[in-house]
Chains A and B, each alone.
Chain A
Amino acid sequence: MPFEPLERGLLRLMQIHGAAIGGLLVAAAAAGEAVLHASLALPWGLQIGPALLVLVYLALWSPPRRYRAWAYRMDGEELQLRHGIWTKVETLVPLDRVQHIDISQGPLERALGICSLVLHTAGTLHSQIVLPGLARETAERMRDEIRARIREEPA
């Protein structure tokens, strides 16, 4: 079974997040620069420059790569996730280990028509496994499928 990519909406979400954080950073740098330039006579761009680079990284460079790195695969027994551009991580969750499942959707995600599937296991390192960027129907179908695998016994 091949790995499946996530919805394009996730890419948008990553870009918006990156732009927001990077933008804040640039704004802070600009403010700092205005102060320092006046008081210390430092050359322009000493702070804005790096901040702009971070903005480019967060909003333009990394989102498509991070988005492409994401993939998942679910068979009847396990859910497999793949993500990460610097450190590549592959996670494998046996479905009968899932304690409960959430589907979560923030306001931005709702606008973009995506949601996240959150699997809770009894483990510690992976007590929460988040699969973002799913279409609502896909997430609901997966949830029902996983729910069918979870045994009745409560924790």
Chain B
Amino acid sequence: MSDAAIADRRLHPGTIALRFVKEAPSTLLALPAALAFTSRTGLTGALFLAAGLAGLLLLVKWLAWRRFRYGVGTAEIVIESGILHRNRRSIPFDRIQDVDIERTFLARLLGLAKVRIETGAGGKDEGLLDSVSLDEAQRLRETVRARRAGAAPADAGADADAAAGPAGSILFEMDVPRLILFGAFNFSLVYIAGLFALLQTFDRFLPFDIYDPARWLGLVDEYLPHRWTFGAIAAVLLMAALLGIVAGILRTLSRDYGFKLSLDGDRFRRERGLFTRSEVVIARRRVQLAQVDGGPLRGLFGWAGLSFQTLGAGTDRGGFQSAAPFAQRSEIEGVLAQAPPLRLPPPALIRVSRRHILRSAATRLVPALVAILALSIWARPALLLLALLPLLAAAAALERRFHRYALADDLLFVARGVWRRRLWILPLANVQALSLSRGLVQRRLGLATLAVDTAGASLLNAPRIIDLRLEAAAKLAAEISRHRRAHASGRKSGTDK
């Protein structure tokens, strides 16, 4: 298009400090351990080694900084990097989707910002400027916006623009009370496990070995006879639950504080974070499908979360971008209205075949039965576990209750999950491939699983309709295919993918 850009800018020198601080602990923490294994040089030796290592690390960081340059040309952004192996990358403006800015707590202290140039080609760090000053980040973004606006092609999705709200309008926000409520629902004992992991990392500084079983057993022996009461157990459980809730609230606050989703032209802009403030842009055109997350408890109060699966953007959860993590139905509706053709499903979704219960129960019953019988060889009382087997059937029945689907015009809706209730809203135009599979048991029962593949989906988390009646599955597949064909032929000259 025009002459090549010159890479004439460097990252902010503060970057060296930032990266050093970020990486030094992991390098230096390993030091005492390494030392203990190799020799006994004492404290002075350790300090000396630490200083040497720190110096080396600093040198490497400084070299990397020195050898990293970028520049903005008339048609592209170029990035040159690599200490020994030089790499020059040019990113044309018309490939750039947008510029994301992220600021960690440390970066905010230093007035820095991490800039990610989003091109939508996979989740790689293709245009990462880590880090520049905040002013520079904003300047870069303005430059990219201006260049893009000048060369913006007329999008095929004209209907999509019709519903656009005023530029920069806020679609969804969360205040602190709501965040606290959200955090309470995010209750998780995982954080307690996390605490233990932390203890493990620092256990060499603790006066006792937390993995000394004899010690724990000793403690139990010491205290249990006196404290083994119902009240004590209840208190411990209550404490654990409370800790879980507090941990959930803290985590949610730090991640989602000041959550704001706004609409700016044809993009969503999301800001969030207490310590690490991030600003992510989701181009509406890149949204492949929407997912609504619910749970039995939060669902009772009408709360659910909305996220978008996008095509190769920065990922916080396997191609998913949270758009409204804790919202009421009307709020979700409001956000979806800005991303046509997405919308919430009709009230009547169809359940999968009744035989789903049979198959699901059967596939679990057999291994469970084998396990119990095997166990009973060693311990007779294990046979009592057989009484639990009907629970499996009940679980299967419950599973079917929440596994539903519907095809409505140009959207496919799939809902699945009892504890983690997911609802996928999938525009048929975004279907990449379809597959109908029938396992051994399924064939006996005349069932089939329909999987719909979309761009950017995660393997485990893809919309799949499990155990449809074979005819229903074939019909659904044919319907999707027919719809897609009609759409494709009506849009021959379109540019979206």
Contact = CB atoms under 8 A, between A and B. Distances in A.
A binds B: yes
Given A78-B481, A94-B484, A123 B437 contact: no
A46 interface: no
Nearest to B458: A124
Interface string A127-155: 00100000000000000000000010101
Given A123-B457, A124-B455, A91 B435 contact: yes
B488 interface: yes
Contacts of B453: 121, 123-126
Contacts of B495: 151, 153
Nearest to B431: A94
Interface stretch (B134-142, B220-228, B255-263, B438-446): B438-446
Interface residues of A, number: 24
A131 B25 CA distance: 50
Contacts of B432: 93-94, 97, 121-123, 126
B435 A94 contact: no
Contacts of A49: none
Interface stretch (A6-14, A20-28, A80-88): A80-88
A122 B288 CA distance: 11
A88 to B, nearest CB: 5
Contacts of A91: 433-436
Given A93-B433, A97-B433, A125 B459 contact: yes
Interface in B38-87: none
B462 A87 contact: no
Nearest to B442: A87
A36 to B, nearest CB: 24
A92 interface: yes
A153 B497 contact: yes
A57 to B, nearest CB: 16
Nearest to A152: B495
B411 to A, nearest CB: 17
Contacts of A121: 432-433, 453, 455
Contact of A125 (B311, B462, B477, B488): B462
Most chain-B CB neighbours within 10 Å: which of A84, A96, A121, A124? A124
Contact of B481 (A92, A96, A153): A92
B427 interface: no
Contacts, number: 87
B481 A126 contact: no
A102 interface: no
A4 interface: no
B451 interface: yes
A94 B453 CA distance: 11
Given A124-B462, A125-B462, A84 B437 contact: yes
B188 interface: no
A117 B162 CA distance: 42
Category for how many chain B residues contact A: 20 to 34
Contacts of A123: 432-433, 453-455, 457
A94 B433 CA distance: 7
Nearest to B437: A89
A127 B184 CA distance: 38
B433 A92 contact: yes
B375 interface: no
B364 interface: no
Nearest to B474: A90
Given A78-B481, A86-B440, A96-B488, A124 B457 contact: yes
B461 to A, nearest CB: 9
Contacts of B127: none
A99 to B, nearest CB: 9
A88 B443 contact: yes
Nearest to A79: B433
A129 B103 CA distance: 40
Contacts of B451: 125
Contact of A122 (B440, B455, B484): B455
B121 interface: yes
Nearest to A84: B437
Most chain-A CB neighbours within 10 Å: which of B121, B433, B495? B433
A122 B455 CA distance: 5
B456 interface: yes
Interface in A57-92: 77-78, 84, 86-92
12 contacts: A78-B485, A87-B438, A89-B435, A91-B435, A91-B436, A92-B434, A92-B436, A93-B432, A94-B485, A123-B455, A124-B462, A155-B120
Interface of A: 77-78, 84, 86-94, 96-97, 121-126, 129, 151, 153, 155
Given A94-B481, A151-B497, 20 more contacts: A78-B485, A86-B439, A87-B438, A87-B439, A88-B437, A89-B438, A90-B436, A92-B433, A92-B477, A94-B433, A94-B485, A121-B432, A122-B311, A123-B432, A124-B458, A125-B451, A125-B453, A153-B497, A155-B121, A155-B497
The 8 tightest CB contacts between A and B, nearest first, are A123-B432, A123-B453, A122-B455, A126-B433, A124-B457, A92-B434, A91-B435, A125-B453
